[in-house]
Amino acid sequence: MALDVVIMAAGKGTRMKSSRPKVLHALAGRSLLQHVLQTVASLGARRIVTITGHGAEQVEAAVQAPGLQFVRQMPQLGTGHAVQQAVPALGDDGTVLILNGDVPLIEAATARALVDACGGQRLALLTLELDDATGYGRIVRRVDGGILGIVEHKDASPEQRQIREIYTGMMAVPSALLKRWLSQLKNDNAQGEYYLTDIVAMAVADGVPVVAAHPGSEIEVLGVNSPVQLADLERRYQRRLAEQQMEAGVRLADPARFDLRGTLECGMDVEIDVGCIFEGHVVLGDGVRIGAHCVVKNAVISAGAVIHPYTHIDGEKQGAKVGEGALIGPFARLRPGADLGPEVHIGNFVEVKNSTLAKGAKANHLAYLGDATVGERVNYGAGSITANYDGANKHRTVIEADVHVGSNCVLVAPVTLGAGATIGGGSTIAKNAPAGELTVARAKQVSRPGWQRPKKATR
Ligand code: UD1
Ligand code: CA
């Protein structure tokens, strides 16, 4: 049976008090709408139609999914009016699944259960019992349990407001029936809007069975209307992501202080201290330890490596790699293209960008390595930098195996330091340094015997 999905995302989101359209606010690093689209992508839908309105251009530019179409709703006259705009984009046969762009955590299994409950011939509503149903549309049932309709909170009588079963905003409905009912909607209600929920009473009047399906858990149907709700949902979702990691054996010092904004793949015996943020795609090998308050994005950290506290690793598009048993930080910064071999040591206030460090190389204090190729066992002194940028182009620095670069050196690229060379501290190296020799490039030290420090004139 053909499935068309409609995602409503035209609303203003007034309570967010933001210039950004509500569905573009981020949950765990992805926009609310992108979460929904990602789930929908696994449903095998024939069509995916997103209804935009408020901030339409921004929304349309910000999200993507294969086969996604946009339909504009201007002005926004209610959820029924929203789906009316999608009608020309929908097939006449099959089932329409209606989702909300601001309810991000709906799961594919729940969406499929809803479509199955519809079965191409019934109206299926996703409903849930809540302790506090304030604000939601209530499911009105007959004494025998059959669904009669949905009444919006603002239109509900005091008795109806006692009902705890709510409409989650998601339904599955046979396409042909949906089109017929939408054409009959009226806006004679408390909000003067065209309510999609009014089609439930129409189904009852037409003798079409109305059935309810339920989500696997409440988090799937929580919507975001305000910054407080967004932060609450973020914490609940992060708790769940933290539990998934712990169930796989990862030891989190505190699941309440863990943030994953992407995907995290961990080996055995990984330990993560408090306050860490993982973004993009991160891989942590067996026995990796991440200290407190590290930010790690698009990086592969190999087995046994230790990332000490307050380290920032951002591989961006190129990625960053840390070799087996390497020691990084505290306060280190690895940027795109940092590719560190086994047992490399990177200490405090050391920045590495687009550079390869071979096994056992060390840069322990206050240094910069950019566009460099660093050999095995190199020791790179405190305060030394590669001057890799001439104002127009970037150039490479090659430091061969066993080189010892003293403190406070400037290596003016392009330049090569031959294997086993020693560079005297404070040198500015603009020419290649021969292998195995000591190279010093700094003003000679002089002392003036008998020199007197000037004194203040006395009267
Ligand atoms: C809606 C339901 C209510 C349900 C609740 C669940 C109706 C009439 N009511 O109420 O029964 O309990 O969701 O969260 O459907 N939108 C548009 N165009 C519009 C209006 C809304 O695209 O003209 C979109 C919004 O962006 C949002 C969704 O529809 O994604 C729901 O709209 P919202 O105003 O939040 O509906 P509720 O009043 O919460
Ligand atoms: Ca809502």
For the chain, the domains span 3-221, 254-439
Q: Please report the pLDDT score of residue 338 as a whole number.
A: 98
In this structure, which residue's CA is closest to atom 22 in ligand 1? Answer: 10
Q: Please report the pLDDT score of residue 306 as a whole number.
A: 99
Q: Please report the pLDDT score of residue 107 as a whole number.
A: 98
Q: Please report the pLDDT score of residue 130 as a whole number.
A: 95
Same fold, 3-221 and 254-439: no
Question: Is domain 3-221 classified as CATH 1.10.4160.10?
Answer: no
Q: How far is the CA of 56 from the centre of ligand 1 (A)?
A: 17
In this structure, which residue's CA is closest to atom 1 in ligand 1? Answer: 169
Q: How far is the CA of 169 from the centre of ligand 1 (A)?
A: 7
In this structure, which residue's CA is closest to atom 8 in ligand 1? Answer: 195
Specify the CATH superfamily of domain 254-439.
Answer: Hexapeptide repeat proteins (2.160.10.10)
- The letter for the amino acid at 277 is I
Q: Please report the pLDDT score of residue 12 as a whole number.
A: 87
Report the C-alpha gap between 130 and 375 in whole angstroms: 63
Q: Please report the pLDDT score of residue 330 as a whole number.
A: 98
C-alpha 453 chain-centroid distance: 62
Q: How far is the CA of 89 from the centre of ligand 2 (A)?
A: 24
Q: Please report the pLDDT score of residue 420 as a whole number.
A: 98
Choose the residue to mutate in 54, 79, 181, 198 for probing ligand 1, maximizing ligand atoms within 8 Å of C-beta.
79
Question: Residues with beta carbon inside 6 Å of ligand 1?
Answer: 8-11, 51, 53, 73, 76-79, 81-82, 100-102, 136-137, 150, 152, 166-169, 195-197, 223
β 320-322/295-301 pair status: parallel
pLDDT averaged per 10 residues in sequence order, the chain, 459 residues: 96 93 97 98 97 97 93 97 98 96 98 98 97 95 97 97 98 98 96 97 98 97 96 98 98 98 98 98 98 98 98 98 98 98 98 98 98 98 96 96 98 98 98 98 95 91
345 is an active site residue: no
Q: Please report the pLDDT score of residue 458 as a whole number.
A: 84
